[in-house]
Amino acid sequence: MGRAAKFSQDQILNAALAITAEAGLGAVTMAAIAARLGAPTGSLYHRFSSRDLLLATVWIRSVRSFQRGFVEALATGDAQAAALHTPRWCRRHPAEAALLLLHRRQELATRWPAELGADLDTLNAQVSDALNSFIARYPGVDRERLTFATVDVPYGAVRRYLLERRSPPPLVDELITSACHAVLPLPNA
């Protein structure tokens, strides 16, 4: 019987995320993560066969974390809440937000580990299904308008602040709300 792991997968991923937030993606090495945790480097390779696999896993975990709240808001029929989820999530999860918005999938995909292919293929399926379900409940809503109001506008609104390593100010929520009301013909948009 083998020894129990001293560090959980989440602890390892959190260490990688913290290093990314502090020093950028290039600073994330297995040795740096091991040093941060006080773990032998070999134990990290036991859990993750490569740095690329570890980084891709952190990225996927962050995407799924973000998507949960967005999908839940759309499921309740509240497009405005879905749109406001972006700046609010960014404020609560600044390191993950920076990873997602500043280190796009294309950067990581050049070294994307084959074992994560299925995760990558299905990554946006829940969001797409939620958008489709919303449109089915509100037939007067155009998919392009819904995507613009709940995805494009919020992303554009927070990106500038994240690039400056700042939290989106409350004014961003106000502007996103105004855009939702202008673009979507819904009472709760």
pLDDT tens figures, 112-141: 666 666 666 677 889 999 999 999 999 889
Closest Cα partner for 42 from 78, 12, 73?
Answer: 12
- Distances 4 to 7, 36, 149 between C-alpha atoms, Å: 9, 20, 47
Whether 188 shows a pLDDT value over 90: the answer reads no
What pLDDT is attached to residue 165?
Answer: 85
Spatial distance between the Cα atoms of 136 and 158, rounded to a whole number of angstroms: 29
Global pTM value: 0.85
- Measured distance CA(152)–CA(62) in Å, rounded: 18
Answer yes or no: are the C-beta atoms of 179 and 82 closer than 8 Å. no
Of 175 and 116, more confident: 175
pLDDT of 105 higher than 60: no
Closest-CA residue to 147 (of 76, 70, 35): 70
Rounded percentage of the chain residues whose pLDDT exceeds 70: 85
